[in-house]
Amino acid sequence: MMKKEYAGLHAALVTPYTETGEVNYRELKKLVRRLIAEGIDGFYVGGSTAETFLLTESERKGILEAVLEENNGEKLVVSHVGAISTRQAVDFAQHAEAAGADAVSAISPFYYKFTQREIEDYYLEIMAGSGLPMFVYNFPNLSGFALTEPFLERLKSSSRLAGIKFTSSDMFQLERIKARNPGLTVWNGFDEMLLSGLAAGADGGVGSTYNCLLPLVRGVYDRFRAGDPARALAFQRRANEAIEVICRHGVFASVKKLLEYSGIESHGCRRPFSPLSPEGEAELRRVYETHLAR
């Protein structure tokens, strides 16, 4: 497997909808083009932020194809292929390879209480089923499964294991994983902790708010890499002022509303997500005018 450069910032893309609730591929492509112009390093497609488990199989595949078409080889494209069913996840991975994605990622199978061995086999079968590098999506708060060293050691038996999307506040574990596995790429997953993740050894980040806060997030990453932690912290604090409001009113709906203020039609989230309250919209408008309006 040819080693690619995976460091940097990768937007966990939202899914814009039309007024009638269909996927709006035109606005999705507009968002991809804007983020490229703002300096994104790559795209994480079809993950939690995309409301992936509220999408049909054809929508998940169509979204990836639209992103790849607009990206046209410019930036890294990672396709999230996670599913409860191994067979379905392998099918998504094979589609991603055929469509031209650079790598795949997968959340661990959830809902049923799968054993560690069953989850290990799930990842190994996905990696065996396509020729793409794999980023394990570690998100214990939602999946119910937390990455362990023995688990990681077994996955390393596959040459296709490229890294980890580490969506956890356990910076000690992040540092230990990176220290013991310097050849693996580790992406920080919680946007409000990007600077903490970088300090612990993360190679970059994947984030929901990168869709709308990229100039601030870029400041965190670039200033840290330049050896200026004080300026990096200043950017993180500015980003966190916005993230605090975003989290208060629902991350996905809030990110989409901020995008709408800047000209990307999104039309909220799919049910059972609730629409934003008038108070939430007003507070997000203030965030936009304070931090994002140009």
How many CB atoms are closer than 10 A to CB 117?
10
* Residue that is written with structure tokens 């919680």 in the block: 190
Distance CA 99, CA 132 (A): 11
**DSSP state, residue 17:** B
Measuring CA to CA, how many Å separate 133 from each of 60, 62, 76, 79, 121?
19, 21, 12, 10, 16
Find how far residue 70's CA is from the centre of its chain: 18
Residue 186 counted as an annotated binding residue:
no
Residue 49 counted as an annotated binding residue:
yes
Measuring CA to CA, how many Å separate 115 from each of 85, 120, 132, 140, 158?
14, 9, 25, 14, 20
Distance CA 135, CA 154 (A): 14
Known active-site residue 112: no
* Active-site position among 17, 122, 123, 137: 137
- CB half-sphere exposure, 94, CA atoms < 13 A: 9
Known active-site residue 137: yes
* Active-site position among 61, 165, 256, 257: 165
Distance CA 69, CA 100 (A): 9
* Residue that is written with structure tokens 């979204």 in the block: 63
Q: Which residues are annotated as a binding site for pyruvate?
A: 49, 206
- Residues involved in catalysis: 137, 165
Q: Which residues are annotated as a binding site?
A: 49, 206
